[in-house]
Amino acid sequence: MSTTRAPSAVIAEDEPVLARTLRRLLEQAWPELHIAGLAEDGLQATELALTHAPDIMFLDIKMPGRNGIEVAEAVADEWPDGSAEPLFVFITAYDAYAVAAFEHAAVDYLLKPATGERLAQTVQRLKTRLSERAPVPSEGDMAQVMQRMQYMAAPPAEPRERIKVIRAGVGNTVRMIPVSDVVCFEATEKYVNVVTAAGEALVRMSLRELMASIDSTDFMQVHRSVLVNSNTIVSATRDENGHYSLNLRGLARPLKVSRAFSHLFRPM
C-alpha cells in the first residue's frame, strides 16, 4: 500500500441497514479509510473489487449471486499480477463460519450486528497488516505470496515422517492411496479431496498439513486450494480472458488455474 494515499475498502452486505451501520462505524473507527463502494450481492462485490482495487474487503458470508468466500476466491483469481490483493474481513451471523473464514485467508471476521468495540479490534489488525506489507512482488513470486495469504502463518515445520500412503475413508472402507497415484488434491471447507484415476476420497485435514506431510516433490500449486501432480499434466489451455485450465491424465474434467499461478504454464 502506498504511503501517499489513504487505504480504501469495499463493503459487501445484502442488508442495506447493516451495510450503512458498518460504514458509519468504520467512519468513526477509521476516518482515513475511503469506502470505495457498497455492494448488495456477490457479483457486484467482485466487480467493485476489480474496478476500484481496494486495500480491504468486508464480505458478508451469505449473499445472493456469490457468497463472501466465493467472492474472495473470484477476486484472487482475477487480481492483476504484481498487485497486492485486498485484505479480507468476513461478516457472518454465525460464529461457526469463523473457521471457514480463516481457511480463506481472512484477516478477521465480524459477527452481526457489528459493534464499535469489536470493529476497533478489526481496524487495528488491518492497520498492522497493511503496515507490514512488503513491496509488491514480481510475477514469479506471486505463487509464494498466495500460499502465505492462504495459510496466514509461517511455512509449516518439517514433519518427522513423510506420508507415502494416504488412508482415506470411503463409507466403511479405508482406501490406501499411494501419493504417487494422486492426480490432484482439492481443499474444501473442512476436508481435502484426494483425486485419483480410480475415484475420489476425502481426508479430514487441511491442505497446509497435507503439503507438509506428503512424500513427494512432484506436486505443484495451481490454485490457492489445489495441488496437482505435475506428472499427470497433459496440456494447459488458455481462454480468451487469459485464464488457463489443465488437462490431467486420469481426470475427465478440466482443472482451473488461478491467475497468480498462470505464469507457470506460459510458453517458453
Task: Tell whether 26 and 123 lie within a shared domain.
Answer: yes
> How many other β-carbons are positioned within 10 Å of the β-carbon of residue 49?
26
| Whole-angstrom Cα Rg for the chain | 20
More reliable by pLDDT, 104 or 244: 244
Nearest Cα neighbor of 11 from 152, 122, 131, 135 is 122
Does residue 87 lie in a domain region?
yes
The pLDDT value recorded for residue 259 is 73
Are both 75 and 123 inside the same structural domain?
yes
According to the model, what pLDDT value does residue 248 have? 96
**Would you state the pLDDT for residue 25?**
95
Do 99 and 169 fall into the same domain?
no
Residue 159 lies in a domain: no
On whether the CB atoms of residues 87 and 54 are closer than 8 A, the answer is no
Asked which of 17-31, 205-219, 236-250 is least confident by mean pLDDT, the reply is 205-219
Greatest mean pLDDT among 132-136, 144-148, 229-233? 229-233
- In this prediction the pTM is 0.55
Structural domain includes residue 147: no
Position 26 scores a pLDDT of 95
pLDDT value at position 155?
Answer: 44
- Confidence (pLDDT) at 22: 94
Same domain, 107 and 171: no
Provide DSSP, 41-94. Answer: SHHHHHHHHHHH--SEEEEESS-SSS-HHHHHHHHHHHSPTTSPPPEEEEEES-
From 98, 119, 136, the end of a domain falls on: 136
| pLDDT(3) > 50 | no
Average pLDDT score over residue span 234-238: 94
Residue 210 domain flag: yes
Is pLDDT of 263 > 90? no
Range of the domain at 244: 165-265
Assess whether 34 and 111 both reside in one domain.
yes
Taking the CA of residue 72 as centre, how many other CA atoms within 13 Å lie in the half-sphere pointing to its CB? 29
Domain edge (last residue) among 136, 152, 183: 136
pLDDT at 151 over 50: no
> Does some domain include residue 3?
no
Summarize pLDDT for 167-184 with one digit per residue, the tens. 987 788 889 999 999 999
Note whether 85 and 170 are same-domain residues: no
CATH number of the domain residue 235 falls in: 2.40.50.1020
Q: What is the pLDDT of residues 113-145, one digit of tens each?
A: 888 999 999 999 999 989 887 544 444 444 444
Q: Count the domains in the chain.
A: 2
Residue 236 covered by a domain = yes
